Structure formats: C-alpha cells, structure tokens
Amino acid sequence: MAKTYKIATIPGDGTGPEVVREGLKVMEAAASKFNFKYETFNFDFGGERYLRTNEVLPASAIDDLKKFDAIFLGAIGHPDVKPGILEKGILLKLRFDLNQYINLRPVQLLDERFCPLKNKKPADINFTVVRENSEGLYVGAGGNVYKGTKQEVAVQESINTRFGIERCVRYAYEYARKYSRKKQLTLCGKTNVLTYAFDLWQRTFAEVGEEYKDIKTDYAHVDAITMWMVKNPEWFDVIVTDNMFGDIITDLAAMIQGGMGIAAGGNINPDGVSMFEPIGGSAPKYTGMNVINPLAAIGAGALLLRELGEEAAAGAIEKSIREVVTTKIKDLAAGKMGYSTTEVGDLIVKHL
C-alpha cells in the first residue's frame, strides 16, 4: 500500500512561497510516479505574520510541527523587520527546539558554465558539508554589560559539548560511508587558535574515527579551507565542521556550485522531524515576479524525500534537475534563466 507522509510547509517570506509551490509541484509528480502519497499542512510563519500579530512563533508551533514527518521551508526574512528577530525567533528556534543538530549541504556543480572558477568541471566540485547545527556560537551564550556606554562589554561564547560534537562527527562518518565517492572526511576547524574548542573536536573526531577505518580522515583550518575550496575544490569529499564555520564555508560552497539558485540544504534530526530549505533567503526584490530560480527548493524537496526513505524519487528529481540545468537553463540567477519560475518547475516535472 502506498505510504502517506505528512509534510508541514512553511513558505515564509519574499520569494519563499513561489519556490515552495514549484517544489511541491515536483514532489507531487514524484509521488505519483514512485507510488507514495503525502498531505501538506501550511504554516504562515514569517515576517508578514510577525508584523500583523507581533508574535514570531505561536507557543504551539514546536509541538504542532513535531507531528509531521518533515518540514519544507521557503525562506525567512523581511525587509521591514530588524535583522535577527525572524532568524533567531523562527529559523534558529525551529532548528534548536526540533533538535535538528545536523545542517547538511550537498555541493555539486552541475554544469561547468555556472562555475565562477576557471577550468573547474562538475567532477571537481562534488562534496558535502556536514555542519553542526545546534551548538557553537549559535547557542547565544553571552551578554552585554554597560550597554550603550564607552565601557560596553560584549561577550559571545562558543559552546561545544562532547555529546554534540560526537553525534555530529558520527553522522559525518556514516554519511561518508553511505554516500560519498572518495570515502574521505575532512575536519574543518581552527586548532591553532581555538585551542579549547577544536582540541575537543579533533580528539572526538579521532576517537570516533577508530570505528570507521574505511574512511580516510584529514584536517584543515577553516581559513585554509576557504582557500582550497577556490583553488582545489576537487580535494574535498565530506567536510565536517562547527556551526559558525559551517555557515561561512557553505555560502562559499554555494557560489562555486553556481550560486544560491541551486543550493539546497537540510536541517536534520535523524530521530525526529527534519526541515529542508533552499538556502538563498527571501530575495525581496524578486518577490511575485515569477523570476526566482526554484531549483534550490526543488533540490531541497529531493533531500526531504531521501530523508523519508524515498531514495528513488529523490534520485530521479536530482537527475531531472541535472538534465534541465545542462540542457535548458541559460543562467542560474533570478531573471536570467531563460524561463520563468513556474516554467522551470514544469520542465523538471516533464523530465521526471
């Protein structure tokens, strides 16, 4: 009997609803082709709702979302809302309270035309970043004293627990074993300066690695990684790192794979509800114009289906994305694709 999944949608702000619509269009086609069913329930969280109600997230949100099999998110961020409120109040709160302790960012260049680096081919840019998603600087530990005066002090601390690091590193080893092409895992840190936090990361990485002798390990400082990612991205296979460094290097990684139009990510709780999103943000200036690239959201939909166990559907969507990108799309940037947002969604469905 066909399975019925329950998927929560949070289209959010700006172009979020437009890309989520295309993501669902593709998921619908995949469902009928691969014989599974899903029902969606929509949540209106985002900047508009906040401006209207003065509430970032209703108290029931976390419990409500826990009842779903997965969450499909468009974008959070509104030009009329001060930076930090929606990010911390919605996106980060969901990540933390739903215990989505992994931020998974597969990075793949699909067509040489879209790479800003000279002479790099699809085979050269094909790696995954496993970012710790529940600790580090993102915990928000710290505070101010004497705020607004010349004596002001601001402290913002990075929290790293053995437990949090271990589960993240273990996930990365497992991921490398299951999906990666070179069976290689690189720890990205800063052991030469952050000698408490990354000493713990490095020891944990080595200890857990004892159980994964089939995986080659490697270490690089975060600053060096930004250099190698531009010069020799082909060296990387799976990279594991902390929350802040992961945030930074995944934006760089998104650019070398062709930009935000194609970059998808997952916030994963391996034992709970995971949330998938295009990582590009709400792009307010393109809102409602039917020009935004929906491929990142469609790719996020594929990651969602993979997490639910629908590997064949996920793979088929990714294959269609690859075909459409290599044979049709003129440019991955908004407004330059040669097709509208809805037409790109239709093309993916057709190739499916």
The answer to the question of residue 277 lying near Mn ion (CB under 5 A) is: no
**Could you give the string, one character per residue 263-302, with x where binding to ligand IPM holds by CB under 6 A and - elsewhere?**
----------------x-----------------------
Other Cβ atoms within 10 Å of 327 Cβ, number = 10
Query: Closest-CB residue for Mn ion?
Result: 247
Other Cβ atoms within 10 Å of 215 Cβ, number = 22
The listed partner (Mn ion, ligand IPM, none) that binds 91, CB under 5 to 8 Å by sort, is ligand IPM
The answer to the question of residue 242 lying near Mn ion (CB under 5 A) is: no
- Element of type H or E holding 222: helix 222-231
Q: How far apart are CA 263 and CA 286, in angstroms?
A: 17
Indicate the residue among 12 and 345 with the shorter CB distance to Mn ion.
12
Residue 193's contacts (CB-CB under 8 Å, 6 or more residues apart) are none
The answer to the question of residue 247 lying near Mn ion (CB under 5 A) is: yes
| Closest to 8 in 3D by CA, of 122, 118, 94 | 94
Task: Pick one of 91, 283, 332, 344: the residue that binds ligand IPM (CB under 6 A).
Answer: 91
The answer to the question of residue 69 lying near ligand IPM (CB under 6 A) is: no
Indicate the residue among 29 and 77 with the shorter CB distance to ligand IPM.
77
In terms of DSSP bridges, do strands 184-189 and 216-221 run parallel, antiparallel, or are they unpaired? Answer: parallel
Indicate the residue among 124 and 247 with the shorter CB distance to ligand IPM.
247
Indicate the residue among 108 and 133 with the shorter CB distance to ligand IPM.
133
Closest approach of Mn ion to the CB of residue 251, in Å: 6
- Tokens 């990666």 — which residue? 180
Which of these segments, 94-102, 142-150, 151-159, 239-247, binds Mn ion (CB under 5 A)?
Answer: 239-247
The listed partner (Mn ion, ligand IPM, none) that binds 256, CB under 5 to 8 Å by sort, is none
Q: Are 95 and 34 in contact (CB under 8 A)?
A: no
The listed partner (ligand IPM, Mn ion, none) that binds 87, CB under 5 to 8 Å by sort, is ligand IPM
Indicate the residue among 129 and 313 with the shorter CB distance to ligand IPM.
129
Q: At what angle do helices 295-308 and 16-34 cross, to 10 degrees?
A: 50
The answer to the question of residue 87 lying near ligand IPM (CB under 6 A) is: yes
The answer to the question of residue 69 lying near Mn ion (CB under 5 A) is: no
Residue 103's contacts (CB-CB under 8 Å, 6 or more residues apart) are 95, 129, 130, 131, 132, 133, 243, 246, 250, 265, 266, 267, 268
Which of these segments, 12-20, 226-234, 244-252, 289-297, binds Mn ion (CB under 5 A)?
Answer: 244-252
The listed partner (Mn ion, ligand IPM, none) that binds 254, CB under 5 to 8 Å by sort, is none
In terms of DSSP bridges, do strands 153-159 and 136-145 run parallel, antiparallel, or are they unpaired? Answer: antiparallel
| Closest to 265 in 3D by CA, of 85, 72, 66 | 72
Q: How far apart are CA 256 and CA 289, in angstroms?
A: 26
The answer to the question of residue 247 lying near ligand IPM (CB under 6 A) is: yes
User: CA angle 107-95-21, nearest 5°?
Assistant: 65
Indicate the residue among 141 and 145 with the shorter CB distance to ligand IPM.
141
Indicate the residue among 215 and 279 with the shorter CB distance to ligand IPM.
279
The one-letter amino acid at 251:
D
Indicate the residue among 110 and 279 with the shorter CB distance to ligand IPM.
279
In terms of DSSP bridges, do strands 264-268 and 274-278 run parallel, antiparallel, or are they unpaired? Answer: antiparallel
Closest approach of Mn ion to the CB of residue 242, in Å: 13
| Number of chain residues interacting with ligand IPM (CB under 6 A) | 5
Binding site for ligand IPM (CB under 6 A): 87, 91-92, 247, 279
Binding site for Mn ion (CB under 5 A): 247
